[in-house]
């Protein structure tokens, strides 16, 4: 399978200090606990804005909104930003999915009808509900998308392992996990996953990649349903020009 371009560590700066909110006639400034060198401006358009205080942190509550920051755009039917954790959550609906997109180098888009959360501080991503990921040369569908360090998704990995009966499939998964470090960043898609590329299609219950090494991955079928991989193999003899 050809290399894909899933959400990478560059999808957001590690922290940002200034957040400028533009919502019609409403404007406010939020300062997060981050060094000035990591300043990032986020502009949010929304019909209204509510600011709450919780344990010394500012919580921003938004109705339908669109937020832009450099090459990133986030939108949703509603939104919430916690300045203490630098977590931005966009919620969606069937008619108005939450979306995240990046333009320029390594461009991609993600949409989900339930929610998309972005933690700027540690560069993690979670999307739930009819998730669609699209980048150049690849589309992926599933019910859950997670980009995070192994140490923070270990419980979920153990649940996936426990669902496997003893045997060759379990040993293959254990062998893949044995090659991962605790701080390796992983990309997990789960729930009727379909990955479409120009020359192949993969259908599975879940797929796990190590970020930055998407040529190596593990995928597992749902109980009673085989994993299906379809590959288009070109006839090189037909592709060669006649002499």
CA distances from 203 to 52, 53, 193, 196, 226 (A): 44, 45, 6, 9, 9
Residue 242 has pLDDT above 80, yes or no: no
Which of 106, 139, 111, 136 is closest to 125 using CA atoms? 111
What per-residue confidence (pLDDT) applies to 238? Answer: 55
Give CA–CA dist 11/131, Å, rounded.
18
Domains parsed from the chain with CATH numbers: 18-127 (2.60.450), 137-243 (no CATH)
User: What is the per-residue pLDDT for 47?
Assistant: 94
Residue 40 predicted with pLDDT over 80: no
- pLDDT, tens digit, for every residue of 190-223? 999 998 988 889 999 999 988 766 667 888 888 8
The Cα-based distances of 172 to 17, 125, 167, 179, 219 in angstroms read: 44, 27, 9, 11, 10
The span from the CA of 19 to the CA of 41, in Å, is 5
pLDDT at 66: 92
pLDDT at 144: 96
Element (H, E) at 31: strand 26-31
Per-residue pLDDT for 232 more than 80?
yes
Put simply, whether the predicted model's pTM sits higher than 0.85 gets the answer no
Report residue 36's pLDDT band, with 50, 70 and 90 as the boundaries: very low
In contact, 194 and 141? CB cutoff 8 Å: yes
- Give per-residue pLDDT as tens, 83-131: 777 788 999 999 999 999 888 877 889 999 999 998 766 778 899 999 9
Q: pLDDT at position 239, please?
A: 52
Q: Residue range 71-75: average pLDDT?
A: 85
Beta strands in 84-123 (DSSP E): 87-91, 98-102, 108-112, 115-119
């Amino acid at each position: 399978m050809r290399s894909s371009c899933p959400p990478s560590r560059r999808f957001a700066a590690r922290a940002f200090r200034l957040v400028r909110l533009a919502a019609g006639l409403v404007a406010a400034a939020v300062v997060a606990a981050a060094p000035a060198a990591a300043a990032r401006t986020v502009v949010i358009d929304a019909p209204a804005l509510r600011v709450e205080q919780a344990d010394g942190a500012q919580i921003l509550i938004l109705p339908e909104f669109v937020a832009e920051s450099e090459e990133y755009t986030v939108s949703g039917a509603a939104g919430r930003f916690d300045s203490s954790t630098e977590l931005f959550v966009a919620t969606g609906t069937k008619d108005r999915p939450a979306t995240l997109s990046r333009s320029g180098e390594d461009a991609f888009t993600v949409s989900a009808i339930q929610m998309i959360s972005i933690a700027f501080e540690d560069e993690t991503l979670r999307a739930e509900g009819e998730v669609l990921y699209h980048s150049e040369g690849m589309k992926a569908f599933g019910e859950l998308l997670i980009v995070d360090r192994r140490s923070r998704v270990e419980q979920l990995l153990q649940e996936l392992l426990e669902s496997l009966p003893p045997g060759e499939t379990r040993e293959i998964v254990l062998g893949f996990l044995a090659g991962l470090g605790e701080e390796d960043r992983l990309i997990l898609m789960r729930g009727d996953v379909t990955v479409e590329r120009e020359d192949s299609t993969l259908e599975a219950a879940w797929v796990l990649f190590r970020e930055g090494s998407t040529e190596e991955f593990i995928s597992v079928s749902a109980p009673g349903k085989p994993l299906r991989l379809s590959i288009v193999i070109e006839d090189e003899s037909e592709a060669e020009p006649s002499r």
